[in-house]
Structure 1
Amino acid sequence: MASIVRPSLLRQACSAAPTARMLSTRASINASQRIAQPSFVRSAVPTPMKAAAFHASAKRAILPPGPQHVEGTANDPVPVPPAEPTHGSYHWTFERILAAGLIPLTVAPFAAGTQHPVLDATLCASLLIHSHIGFDSMVIDYIPKKRFPKSRALFTWGLRAGTVVVAIGLYEFETNDVGLTEAIKRVWTA
């Protein structure tokens, strides 16, 4: 209802009203010509409706584009990064094994009914590494190193610092408190 009183919609509605030029164009086509013309020719006559009246707001970019520069010419070859085995198939395989291993690690303490500190520490470490890899992938995907080198370094070091803080917190929680699985069990039955 509030969109009706929006000034931009009011301007669009006023500009969509039939003007004198459009009325004179329509009046120049007499009734005999309208009947003789096929439908696709009749549709070429301008109509007072505009599609812009249905748009809620102007198109605006969320963020301004980053620096635009081209290195080299169109005929230069693309630089190939050096090969690193940890960023290839081994990296992908490690991520999949870790993700698949979290399923039995999450269920095992509750299914067995025992809270062993080694199993609890393994679950905490696996969750921490899995989360770090996931957030690191987000930083790599959404903050390109070539366009935003300082922002990329800031977010990468921020992620590393956050991972260390969480690791210290989990260690303190495991050694000085009840542990992760016991805390989940208590919250679940509370």
Structure 2
Amino acid sequence: MAMSLVLRNACKSNGINLLRNVRATPLKTFTSSALLAPKKDAPLNLVKSIQRNISLTAPKLSAGGSHSGIWVAERAISVAFLGVIPAAFLFPSQALDALLATSIVMHQHWGLEAMVIDYVRPIIFGNVVPKVAQAALFLISAATLGGLFYFIYNDIGIAKAVKQLWSIKAAGSSDK
């Protein structure tokens, strides 16, 4: 009980000290001090006036609008992996390999795109570098998908190649 009173009073005094030391230098703001001014009959008149700064500049919105559709598609691809990967290995075919390759490339593209958007920002790198990074990402994703399709249709395919890698590893471990 006593400890909770001590902690509660410590939080109150820290909040008052914080409000006393607040200094803001906004670019475009509207100040409203009448709403937060202390009452005249307040027992402790420690804070003379509090200024609240309200920004008038509009927040920057993304060019694409709502991203809920892409979020649902990302989750759908992730859930689809639970069926596509086993199906591709149980019933190897070019169609399932193509579906697996497309799913893998879409998944890696969206993950890398999120990193490019988050970390290669125009505010840090300017306007050119983020566009170059996005273009490089599209080029890498297209080349990856093209390479996987070439491997599927002109060679043994993804599932059979992974099975061969597993059989080599298993055969090498049996010699020991």
Same fold (TM over 0.5): yes
Matches within 5 A, 1:7-156: 73-75=27-29, 76-81=56-61, 84=64, 87-110=66-89, 112=90, 114-148=91-125, 149-156=127-134
Aligned partner letter, 2:80: G
Q: Is the 8 A contact 2:88 2:100 kept in 1?
A: no
CA distance in 2, matches of 1:155, 1:139: 7
Cα deviation code 1:119-152 (max 9, x no counterpart)? 1100000000100000000001111133322221
Correspondence 1:178 to 2:156: yes
CA distance in 1, matches of 2:106, 2:145: 10
Pick aligned residue for 2:135 from 157, 160, 170: 157
Structure 2: runs of 5 or more not aligned: 1-25, 30-55, 169-176
Cα deviation code 1:90-134 (max 9, x no counterpart)? 111111111111121111232x3x212111100000000100000
Q: Aligned residue for 1:40?
A: none
* SS at 2:28 equivalent: coil
Bigger drift between 161-170 and 121-130 goes to: 161-170
CA distance in 2, matches of 1:178, 1:121: 12
CA distance in 2, matches of 1:187, 1:170: 17
Deviation at 1:171, TM superposition (A): 1.3
Structure having the higher strand fraction is 2
**Could you tell me the percent identity over the aligned residues?**
28
CA distance in 2, matches of 1:91, 1:183: 31
CA spacing shift, 1:83–1:155, aligned 2, 3 Å? closer
**Normalization by structure 1: what TM-score?**
0.56
Structure 1: runs of 5 or more not aligned: 1-71
* SS at 1:146 equivalent: helix
Q: Aligned residue for 2:21?
A: none
Deviation at 1:178, TM superposition (A): 0.3
Deviation at 1:73, TM superposition (A): 2.4
